[in-house]
Amino acid sequence: MSSPAEIPVPRTYRVRTYGCQMNVHDSERLSGLLEAAGYTAAPEDGDADVVVLNTCAVRENADNRLYGNLGHLRPVKDAHPGMQIAVGGCLAQKDRGDIVRRAPWVDVVFGTHNVGSLPALLERARHNAEAQVEIAESLEVFPSTLPAKRDSAYSGWVSISVGCNNTCTFCIVPSLRGTEKDRRPGEILAEVQALVDQGVLEVTLLGQNVNAYGVEFRDRGAFADLLRATGRIEGLERVRFTSPHPREFTDDVIAAMAETPVVCHQLHMPLQSGSDDVLRRMRRGYRQERYLGIIERVRAAMPDAAITTDIIVGFPGETEEDFQQTLDVVRQARFSSAFTFQYSKRPGTPAAEMDGQVPKDVVQERYLRLTALQDEISWAENRGQIGRRVELLVAAGEGSKDAATGRLSGRARDGRLVHFRAADGVRPGDVVETVVTDAKPHFLVADGALLAHRRTRAGDAAEAGTRPTTPGVLLGMPRIGVPAQLAPAGGC
């Protein structure tokens, strides 16, 4: 009597993500694609049959980080015959075949435009017993039409566009992700509806330059209209977006934020520099006066708005006077927080070839002055929140406190991180209300008793330990709740 056939064990995978929110969103799609192809997620304490590195080319030392990680993976692969390593994302788009030349143990290299090719490339690499390098020059399939496995049961990313039409001299993104491609609003709203149907409470509309949305179908009001339409989806409680660009930021977007209850009063508005001369060399397309005018109008419409920013210190040619102008704008804008960066050359960008590269020690000294000022402002702004009643969407694994403090973490509607006193039955994805009792530069504390606790479907899913999956939103799906004016169609 013959023994029954052995059931094949599914191959396991792990996706490592570097860089911006767009990469996080792409990684959810990569996980969804692999699961649809029969792979299963590797346990946290175990090795994976397939390791995918979703890379970034913008962050400092991105190349060193990639090849360092690949070096660490080589002995792991040597010890596990049949293991595969795939490299995708912006650095793969930039380096292409050089990755396999420098790290010949890599099996697959794929670019930003062909995320959907990964399962087929892995299979081809196994069949042919040789590395597969496939870099598309333009977008083949919009990432959000692909299946996804999301990390969160309560919040989700929704891409409204990919690529960028700007020509900032420090940025390599347009050459790696291409010119802007906009999704049809009906497809965006259908994806949001699908997420809400799964219990998601919060979505973030995502693009390299979200407020330029509509450029392909020549509708300058398309983004404001999209915010209002998204806000009409029943069951959705919070809408955020990132990142806008000051050059295209218009008053109709401010009005949509202020007048649509579910749109959070949170704005990430990259400054980069407060000096008009530096902004000109950066090719940012706006000046200090316009930037501060936007901040003033946002605060007039939404006095409770929390505004964050990006700032680059030490851009080529930056003088002490230029830097002082940046400090002046920071003092006037009073950002709730800022992502600050020391300028470093990015090969392939015009800024890398500019005269006047600022010495590293000068950049470092300015950077420390800027961060000290911003920390002072952030702390003062946070102290102004003490005594305020806040609604928190309870977070999982984000700044969570240890058991000794008796606190959990959540995000207020304005995006601030709040550590609050834990209570029985509160799960990630639930909604609680409490009062802020203390403030630090980078977070708030609420040590009083909860004023309210609402259990949610997302909390049920988190409690069950399930990771939600989305099958993908097909092109041509019905436009759900799209007003007539919309029907035709990581931040810089």
Q: Does position 479 have pLDDT exceeding 60, yes or no?
A: no
Specify if 425 maps to a domain. yes
Same-domain status, 167 and 225: yes
More confident site: 22 or 423:
423
Q: In the structure, what pLDDT confidence band is assigned to residue 175 with cuts at 50, 70 and 90? A: confident
Outline where 420-456 has alpha helix (H): none
Same-domain status, 351 and 230: yes
CATH code of the domain containing 33: 3.40.50.12160
Can you name the residues that pair with 153 across neighbouring β-strands?
Answer: none
For residues 450 and 430, what is the distance between their CA atoms, to the nearest angstrom?
13
Same-domain status, 378 and 403: no
Tokens at 195, concatenated: 């997420």
pLDDT of residue 439: 97
Same-domain status, 90 and 106: yes
| Backbone φ/ψ region at 129: left (φ over 0), alpha (ψ -120 to 50), beta | left
- Choose one of 79, 102, 134: the last residue of a domain: 134
For residues 263 and 231, what is the distance between their CA atoms, to the nearest angstrom?
7
Specify if 5 maps to a domain. no
Mean pLDDT of 362-389: 98
Tokens at 75, concatenated: 């002995």
Same-domain status, 309 and 455: no
pLDDT of residue 482: 29
In DSSP notation, 233-271 reads: STT--EEEEE---TTT--HHHHHHHHH-TTB-SEEE---
Percent of the chain with pLDDT over 70: 90
Specify if 489 maps to a domain. no
pLDDT of residue 470: 61
For residues 259 and 229, what is the distance between their CA atoms, to the nearest angstrom?
12
Is 90 a known ligand-binding residue? yes
Q: In the structure, what pLDDT confidence band is assigned to residue 317 with cuts at 50, 70 and 90? A: very high
Q: Does position 465 have pLDDT exceeding 60, yes or no?
A: yes
Low-confidence winner among 128-142, 171-185, 393-407, 447-461 (lowest mean pLDDT)? 393-407
Of 84, 79, 81, 31, which is closest to residue 54 (Cα–Cα)?
Answer: 31
More confident site: 41 or 20:
41
Q: In the structure, what pLDDT confidence band is assigned to residue 112 with cuts at 50, 70 and 90? A: confident
pLDDT of residue 489: 27
- pLDDT tens digits for range 287-313: 999 999 999 999 999 999 999 999 999
Is 171 a known ligand-binding residue? yes
pLDDT of residue 5: 55
**Inter-residue contact 442 to 399 (CB < 8 Å):** no
CA 205 from chain centre, in angstroms, equals 10
Tokens at 338, concatenated: 């800022």
Q: Does position 473 have pLDDT exceeding 80, yes or no?
A: no
Same-domain status, 151 and 32: no
Mean pLDDT of 405-430: 94
Same-domain status, 272 and 238: yes
The residue length of the chain stands at 492
Q: Does position 119 have pLDDT exceeding 70, yes or no?
A: yes
Mean pLDDT of 69-77: 94
End-to-end CA distance of the chain: 68
Q: Which domain holds residue 400?
A: 389-468
pLDDT of residue 148: 77
More confident site: 279 or 146:
279
Q: At how many degrees (to 10) do helices 320-333 and 360-383 cross?
A: 10
Mean pLDDT of 449-473: 80
Which is it for strands 438-439 and 389-394: parallel, antiparallel or unpaired? unpaired
Q: In the structure, what pLDDT confidence band is assigned to residue 88 with cuts at 50, 70 and 90? A: very high
Can you name the residues that pair with 132 across neighbouring β-strands?
Answer: 108
Is 492 a known ligand-binding residue? no
pLDDT of residue 85: 97
Q: In the structure, what pLDDT confidence band is assigned to residue 396 with cuts at 50, 70 and 90? A: confident
Q: In the structure, what pLDDT confidence band is assigned to residue 436 with cuts at 50, 70 and 90? A: very high
Same-domain status, 376 and 263: yes
Same-domain status, 119 and 185: no
- pLDDT tens digits for range 239-296: 999 989 999 999 999 999 999 999 999 999 999 999 999 999 999 999 999 999 999 9
Specify if 18 maps to a domain. yes
In the numeric block, the tokens 């070096």 are attached to 71
Q: Does position 59 have pLDDT exceeding 60, yes or no?
A: yes
In DSSP notation, 60-93 reads: TTHHHHHHHHHHHHHHHHHHSTT-EEEEEEHHHH
Same-domain status, 166 and 254: yes
For residues 92 and 63, what is the distance between their CA atoms, to the nearest angstrom?
10
Which is it for strands 108-110 and 306-313: parallel, antiparallel or unpaired? unpaired
Same-domain status, 237 and 353: yes
Q: Does position 471 have pLDDT exceeding 60, yes or no?
A: no
CATH code of the domain containing 334: 3.80.30.20
pLDDT of residue 124: 95
- Choose one of 134, 165, 188: the last residue of a domain: 134
Can you name the residues that pair with 60 across neighbouring β-strands?
Answer: none
Q: Does position 346 have pLDDT exceeding 60, yes or no?
A: yes
Average confidence score pLDDT of the chain: 88
pLDDT of residue 481: 30
Q: Kind and range of the H or E element at 300?
A: helix 288-301
pLDDT of residue 26: 86
For residues 341 and 65, what is the distance between their CA atoms, to the nearest angstrom?
17
Percent of the chain with pLDDT over 90: 69
Same-domain status, 202 and 224: yes
pLDDT of residue 469: 61
Say how many domains are in the chain. Answer: 3
For residues 176 and 181, what is the distance between their CA atoms, to the nearest angstrom?
13
pLDDT of residue 338: 96
> CB neighbours (10 Å) of residue 252?
17
